[in-house]
Amino acid sequence: MFRGLRLRLTFLYTISAVALVFLLSLVAYRAIERELQANIDLALRYRMAQQLQWQGFPLPSDLESAGREWGARSGLPLGGTGVVSPPVEDDIYENEGEDPHLEGSPSDLDEFDAELAPVFVLSSASQTYRAVAVNQNSPLTVLYAPAAEAALAQDRDLRTITLQDGTRVRLLSVRLPGAGPAQVIQVGRLLDDQQRVLDALLRVLFLLGGIGALLIAAGSWWVAGRSMAPAQEAWEKQQAFVANASHELRSPLTVLRASAEVAQRGLDPSDARNELLEDILQEVDHMARLVDDLLLLSRLDAGRLALAHERIELAPVLEDLSRKIGRLAETGSIQLEVAAPAGLAVLADRTRFRQVLLILLDNAMRHTPGGGRVSLAARSTGRRVEITVTDTGEGIKAADLPHVFERFYRSTGNGDADGAGLGLAIAKGLTEAQGGTIELLTLAGIGTSARLILPAG
């Protein structure tokens, strides 16, 4: 019992801790993703500001501030317009393949490649505008039409696009001001680098999360064991006390019964003391049954009940029970019906299996009025066998149904004055010890059906 509880506590602790780690990892991942996205958008606005400045257009306030922010981050001096003025490169090999008229301009690809290597520029500007450098590694050779159309309609467009080969690009499109034909400049950046960084981060988070989950599980198992140690010790002492007390009470009860029987033999049948001795014998029998039940429950709790599993043919067992219980049924004017297919068998301990059935039949008989019916049936459900004990008694109240398998629980007004409230608890414990399950289905005023499911033999 405590091992199962420890496992559940460990699972609960581990799931809670892993959920917290997952949440923190998700927050960290999203924060880094947003930061990378913000840097990319800033780089695109900065590059767009360079292009507008190169064309001689005034800069909007957000693009001017982007230039200042990028300059502050990179440590470069700021020009009068708020955009970084790139230096002229001296290495003649760095300008190979570029328009010499663009050297030293904000469109110079050397500066472009040094500071913002993944960024490319496309333009629909006519020859009346100054030329724009084109990055030879650009994934686009012409303007991306949907973004260009949106920029023409709204002056500006910022979006992430996916090309036919699956490449993802962050694209900023701006409509050039002027009275002539509308023109658009697009600057974009491949998201491959960003995705590689995020993928690497995700792998690291998964690796650390897996290692953390194992460490958390080990720590949770240790903590659960430490926290349950006092309760387990107290429970074991209680079970030992119950077992010892039950064992020790059997001897005096046996002596009391023997003494009462001897005293009863020496009395005349008409002697009034016979009734008193009979009461003593009945109470001794009741106490003996209670002691046996407590001893059985303590062994079940401790897992020390010896069980001999064997293949048990149901038809002979049910017929034998029908014959023995049938006399009790006739006394109470109750009709007893038994139905079990030939060859159907269960894998169980014969003595304990019969004990469970007797408990269920006894309950059904005691709660079924005269003229009622109790049926005992069995059927195969594949690898399991279902045995049902159904009566036409008063049923179980809805408020009592969740508690019927609890020890010493007795429903008020159920007519079970002689019971100690241990029968169904014992039946449940014995059934589970044999690898089965038991449940009650009831309708108040109509009857109750006890369903016992065991492994097929």
Verify that 412 and 349 share a domain, yes or no: yes
pLDDT higher than threshold 50 for residue 252 = yes
Indicate whether 152 and 245 sit together in one domain.
no
CATH number (domain holding residue 284): 1.10.287.130
Instruction: Identify the pLDDT of residue 342.
Output: 83
**The predicted structure's pLDDT at residue 136:** 53
For the domain that residue 139 is a member of, what is the CATH number? 3.30.450
Question: Do both 252 and 343 map to the same domain?
Answer: no
54 inside domain: no
Average pLDDT of every residue of the chain = 77
Question: What angle, rounded to 10 degrees, do the helices at 314-331 and 350-366 form?
Answer: 30
For residue range 22-73, list pLDDT tens digits in order: 898 899 899 998 988 888 888 888 888 888 887 778 888 878 887 777 767 6
Q: Are residues 293 and 332 in the same domain?
A: no
| In a domain? residue 102 | yes
Cα–Cα distance measured from residue 250 to residue 246, given in angstroms and rounded to the nearest whole number:
7
Do residues 174 and 237 both lie within one domain? Answer: no
Dump pLDDT digits (tens) for 393-411. Answer: 888 887 788 888 887 777 6
3-state secondary structure of 311: strand
Question: Angle 300-303-307 (CA atoms, 0-180°, nearest 5)?
Answer: 80
Higher model confidence: residue 207 or residue 83?
207
Give the residue, 233 or 307, on which the prediction is more confident: 307
Whether residue 23 is contained in a domain is answered as no
- 320 and 437 share one domain: yes
Strand partners, 183: 176
CATH number for the domain including 440?
3.30.565.10
Q: Residue 143: its pLDDT value, please?
A: 84
Closest Cα partner for 174 from 71, 41, 69, 45? 45
Q: How far is CA 408 from CA 34, 235, 284, 294, 403, in A?
A: 62, 18, 19, 11, 10
Q: Are residues 327 and 372 in the same domain?
A: yes
As given in the structure block, the two tokens for residue 431 are 């059934």
Predicted TM-score of the model (pTM): 0.51
Mean local confidence (pLDDT), 441-453: 84
Is 25 a member of any domain? no
Residues 284, 320, single domain; the answer is no
Q: In what order do the strands lie in the sheet with 156-162?
A: 119-123, 183-190, 168-176, 156-162
The pLDDT tens digits for 281-303 are 878 877 777 777 777 777 777 77
Q: Is the dihedral of CA 64, 66, 72, 76 positive or negative?
A: negative
**Average pLDDT, integer, range 408-436:** 75
Residues 115 and 239 in one domain: no
- Residue pair 334/368 in contact (Cβ under 8 Å)? The answer is yes
Residues 443, 351 within the same domain: yes
Residue 328 lies in a domain: yes
42 located within any domain: no
pLDDT at 158: 92
The domain in which residue 421 lies consists of 309-455
- 78 falls in which pLDDT band (50, 70, 90)? very low
The closest of 389, 367, 376, 393 to 446, measured between CA atoms, is: 393
**pLDDT at residue 447, as a whole number:** 85
109-113, 138-142, 371-375, 398-402: least confident range: 109-113
Is 439 found in the same domain as 404? Answer: yes
The residue with greater pLDDT, 80 or 449, is: 449
Is the pLDDT confidence value at 443 over 60? yes
Q: Are residues 373 and 418 in the same domain?
A: yes
How many domains does the chain contain in total?
Answer: 3
